[in-house]
Amino acid sequence: MMKKKLLNKVSATVLAGLMLCSITGCGEEIDAETAETSQEELTLQDVTEDATGAATSDDAGDTATSAGQESVDDPYISKALSVAGNVPMDVQESLVDDFDGDGDKEAFVFLGGEPDEIIGSNGSLWFVSDDSCEQVLEQKNIAVNEKGSVFEPMTVENVKIVMLTEAYISEAYSKIFFVKNGKCEKSRISGTGYLYTDEKIDDFLVSHPAYDMCVEYEIGADESEKMATGHTWKNYYAYFDKDKQDFCYYGAHSITEDELASICGIDLASEIRNEGFQVDDIYRVDNGVVIVNYSEETQNGNTVSIEYHNASFYEKTKQFLDFGIDGDKQWQKSDQGGIYSF
């Protein structure tokens, strides 16, 4: 079976940072050696075509020029520049293709400032065709990959998709576009989180950021006075819908503790309680991932602290998903921190 590396170097680096933020949580620090190891593991990650619904990675744009070259060499960049006016031009790159298969070529053009090693190039994205030129993404920090490209194109179910990564120090968001009937359309999940693949899970994962690992408050405080801390990145799950020709999130529904035990083969709720935690909401996602929210409340004088955790069990493999968290039991290693909600 042919394998594709869907995560390029910049995507792996961004994802490593996000996962480390999730792992540390609540103000804990992680050393540089651990960070370097995690990044390397993600950079080398392979996924199979079957695991992503026939998704494949594509080469970067057909044409790319720097500010030092004559932009007139690329008619798509020239057209975008003429419409954009006064914009940063340190990075000028176009991705040209017949994206919707109608026989006419279109282009996505990125115009940005000088790239930063961490957060990439601050710039805008333009969609250019024979009869139009429109800005489809305003000024954002866009990651630049090891090929020097901001574009991460891929094909899923014969649909050509253009993806860019809006990058920050500890957060990243996938901006996802495709072309239909000669018009640029934005995916319904674009900007909701960071889209990636993992060989342990079918379909796609989308990491969502939140500050929800810990809540601290004084007894009698209003909800508005409760302080949430701890940056988490929790995986939600998506698939490519052939009829909608777009990504969609899997739905989820609540299940009982008895149903949870039947799925996992153990009385997981009792095990969690035996470790001193409270069992909160339990969900079964439609892709077969079962998620248990649990928490621990402590009190010091008038100050109450609640720390939130979760466990993820995958029905297909009959195993807990391992996110590298310390713990004597497998369900403890599947904790991403924070509260899952659907």
Are the C-beta atoms of 140 and 116 separated by less than 8 Å?
no
- Cα separation of 317 and 303, whole Å? 42
CB within 8 A of 85, min separation 6: which ones?
none
Q: Are residues 294 and 220 in the same domain?
A: no
pLDDT of residue 304: 96
pLDDT of residue 301: 95
- Cα separation of 261 and 255, whole Å? 10
Tell me: pLDDT of 46 over 50.
no
Q: Are residues 262 and 245 in the same domain?
A: no
Q: Are residues 14 and 58 in the same domain?
A: yes
Q: Are residues 103 and 201 in the same domain?
A: yes
Of 205, 221, 249, which closes a domain? 249
Q: pLDDT category, 324, cuts 50, 70, 90?
A: confident
Q: Are residues 62 and 193 in the same domain?
A: yes
Tell me: pLDDT of 170 over 70.
yes
Q: pTM of the predicted model, to two decimals?
A: 0.81
Q: pLDDT category, 4, cuts 50, 70, 90?
A: very low
pLDDT of residue 55: 61
- Domain with 59 in it: 3-249
Strands 204-218 and 227-241: antiparallel
Of 219, 249, 279, which closes a domain? 249
Three-state secondary-structure class, residue 167: strand
pLDDT of residue 251: 98
Q: Are residues 195 and 330 in the same domain?
A: no
Q: Are residues 185 and 296 in the same domain?
A: no
- Pair of tokens at residue 118: 């961490």
Q: Mean of the pLDDT values across residues 302-312?
A: 97
Q: Which of 20, 38, 14 is nearest to 337 (CA)?
A: 20
Instruction: Provide the number of structural domains found in the chain.
Output: 2
Of 203, 219, 249, which closes a domain? 249
